[in-house]
Structure 1
Amino acid sequence: MTEKMIENNKVGVIGVIVSDFTFSHEVFGEGFYMVDVAVNRLSEQTDIIPLMISERLLDVHQDYKGQTIEAVGQFRSYNRHEGTRNRLVLSIFVREIQMIEEFTDYTKTNQIYLDGYICKEPVYRKTPLGREIADLLVAVNRPYGKSDYIPCIAWGRNARYASSFAIGSRIRIWGRVQSREYTKKVNEEEVERRIAYEVSVSKLEYVEN
């Protein structure tokens, strides 16, 4: 894997493990497992973020709940088939992980950088209170012809700026990974509570091709 490819998608989080490990899949005899981490915001809200971890990085059969970890990797996506539909599933693919005793700099608990391409028309809107928001879907290239599709949300002047981007525009984004609960109507009688993951944009720039 080239260093350039790794550099276009970098994320680091510090948080507390709040779930057991569950098996995800196996590649060439290497098992990958999912675990949830609670990451605090400065606003005292908490994001619950899923990590995908190789069994070669950590003993996935131990109970780490309540322990604080620092994980570094990439924000990745894949399409999961659910009946007749595809659902975009996002998680942090961990490359490095370590247990930490304590930390005090809460400004560095959740940081992400992406260098990718707009692959869907940006959706610009205003909240009932007049706050400007733009939803973006950014394709970030991976080696071997693969790409990750990352939903991003920009605010204020960044939202206004992002609303003018054309499909295919190359952009760089700095921000944080966040979780958001929403409800989805499954049928006439059933409503499901789900969690969406996205990048909250703090800074973005257009890159001339």
Structure 2
Amino acid sequence: MTDKVIENNQVVIMGEIVSDFTFSHEIFGEGFYMVDVRVERLSDSMDNIPLMVSERLIDVNGDYKGMYIVVNGQFRSYNRHEERKNKLVLSVFAREIEFVDEICENTKSNQIYLDGYICKEPIYRKTPLGREIADLLLAVNRPYGKSDYIPCICWGRNARFANGFEVGSRCAVWGRIQSREYMKKLTEEQLERRVAYEVSVSKLELIED
């Protein structure tokens, strides 16, 4: 049963470590640390993806900046309480890490597969230039009764298709993890630059339970 649940959330990213490790939390004496991995897109832009790593998987005291890694894991979420409300925090949870000399060009360096349930009404809209977009929130089951809540964004005909999904529908998506900067309005005069993470969907389908 556990293996089946793990299969419903699969991530592979390849990229360059661009930060030091910072402590996140500890569970049953096992420390977990965060590090940023820069992953190239085919469009020559970059995504900076937060990676959560166990201290039992790698020496978190080492300096790995500039080194290239291949990570197999899962896209995880948790709620952090701030400013009197909960904030959804997303990261890739590393299950396996391999150091490599380089990332080959045109390699699929950022892939994700999710099998979960629609937990909010899809939000469909068009950009000023007429591009169709739909936002989904997918609840992906984890062992021991937990779930990860993963925001997904669909484009074009996928957006039109997703707009018809009902809450509770089971859905499979394939795509990549992307980072997106935005400005958060704190007060009338104060803005703060923040980064959101989501799955950019290249393929999706409904699953009949």
Instruction: Answer yes or no: same fold by TM over 0.5.
Output: yes
**2:50 maps to which residue?**
50
**1:155 maps to which residue?**
155
Superposition map of 1:65-104 within 5 A? 65-104=65-104
* Aligned partner of residue 90 in structure 2, secondary structure: strand
**Offset of 1:105 from its aligned partner?**
4.7
Alignment gaps of 5+ in structure 1: none
**2:112 maps to which residue?**
112
| Mapped contact 2:68–2:103 kept (Cα < 8 A) | no
| Mapped contact 1:115–1:170 kept (Cα < 8 A) | yes
**1:133 maps to which residue?**
133
Pair 1:171-2:176 in alignment: no
Separation in structure 2 between the aligned mates of residue 58 and residue 107 of structure 1, nearest angstrom? 25
* Aligned partner of residue 159 in structure 2, secondary structure: helix
Separation in structure 2 between the aligned mates of residue 40 and residue 105 of structure 1, nearest angstrom? 9
**1:27 maps to which residue?**
27
* Aligned partner of residue 144 in structure 1, secondary structure: helix
**One-letter amino acid matched to 2:153:** I
* Aligned partner of residue 139 in structure 1, secondary structure: strand
* Aligned partner of residue 3 in structure 1, secondary structure: helix
**1:41 maps to which residue?**
41
Separation in structure 2 between the aligned mates of residue 89 and residue 77 of structure 1, nearest angstrom? 5
* Aligned partner of residue 165 in structure 1, secondary structure: coil
* Aligned partner of residue 181 in structure 2, secondary structure: strand
Q: TM-score, normalised by structure 1?
A: 0.98
Q: Tell me which moved more, 162-171 or 1-10.
A: 1-10
Separation in structure 2 between the aligned mates of residue 121 and residue 52 of structure 1, nearest angstrom? 30
* Aligned partner of residue 70 in structure 2, secondary structure: strand
Separation in structure 2 between the aligned mates of residue 124 and residue 147 of structure 1, nearest angstrom? 24
| Mapped contact 1:171–1:205 kept (Cα < 8 A) | yes
Q: Identity of counterpart residues, as a percentage?
A: 72
**One-letter amino acid matched to 1:123:** I
Deviations 1:149-190 (A, max 9, x none): 000000000000000000000000000000000001112221
**1:195 maps to which residue?**
195
| Mapped contact 1:12–1:111 kept (Cα < 8 A) | yes
Pair 1:206-2:206 in alignment: yes
Pair 1:3-2:15 in alignment: no
* Aligned-residue CA RMSD (Å): 0.9
**One-letter amino acid matched to 2:17:** I
* Aligned partner of residue 130 in structure 2, secondary structure: coil
**Offset of 1:134 from its aligned partner?**
0.3
Q: TM-score, normalised by structure 2?
A: 0.98
Separation in structure 1 between the aligned mates of residue 67 and residue 103 of structure 2, nearest angstrom? 12
Separation in structure 2 between the aligned mates of residue 49 and residue 147 of structure 1, nearest angstrom? 20
| Mapped contact 1:41–1:106 kept (Cα < 8 A) | no
**Offset of 1:106 from its aligned partner?**
3.0
* Aligned partner of residue 108 in structure 1, secondary structure: coil
Separation in structure 1 between the aligned mates of residue 107 and residue 160 of structure 2, nearest angstrom? 26
Separation in structure 1 between the aligned mates of residue 149 and residue 106 of structure 2, nearest angstrom? 28
Alignment gaps of 5+ in structure 2: none
Separation in structure 2 between the aligned mates of residue 55 and residue 202 of structure 1, nearest angstrom? 34
